[in-house]
Amino acid sequence: MMTREKKYKLILITIISLLPLLFGEYIRYQRSHVSCDSELILNSAKGEVVRVIMTYRFGSSEGSYNATGTYFHEGKTIEINDDFLFNYYLKSDHLILISREDKSKPSELEEANSISPDFFNYSGRGIIMRLSKENSAGYLFSIDNTPIFYCKRNKA
pLDDT value for 85: 92
Give the contacts of 51 (CB within 8 A, at least 6 positions apart). Answer: 39, 40, 41, 42, 69, 70, 72
For 1-23, what is each residue's pLDDT tens digit? 678 888 888 888 888 887 887 77
Residue 68 has pLDDT above 90, yes or no: yes
Query: In this structure, are strands 34-43 and 146-153 parallel, antiparallel, or unpaired?
Result: antiparallel
- What residues does each domain of the chain span? 1-32, 33-153
pLDDT band at 155 (very low <50, low <70, confident <90, very high): low
pLDDT value for 130: 92
> What CATH number has the domain spanning 33-153?
2.40.128.280
Q: CA–CA separation, 3 vs 6, rounded Å?
A: 5
Label each residue of the chain as H, E or C.
CCCHHHHHHHHHHHHHHHHHHHHHHHHHHHHHCEEEEEEEEEECCCCCEEEEEEEEEEECCEEEEEEEEEEEECCEEEEEEEEEEEEEEEECCEEEEEECCCCCCCHHHHHHHHHCCHHHCCCCCEEEEEEEEEECCEEEEEECCEEEEEEEECCC
pLDDT value for 113: 66
- The pTM is what? 0.70
Q: CA–CA separation, 139 vs 19, rounded Å?
A: 27
Specify whether the CB–CB gap between 41 and 50 falls below 8 A.
yes
For 22-62, what is each residue's pLDDT tens digit? 777 776 666 667 788 888 888 888 888 889 998 989 888 89
For 88-131, what is each residue's pLDDT tens digit? 988 888 889 999 987 766 665 666 666 678 888 888 999 999 98
Residue in 67, 96, 95, 99 with CA at minimum distance from that of residue 85 = 99
In the chain, what's the furthest Cα-to-Cα distance? 86
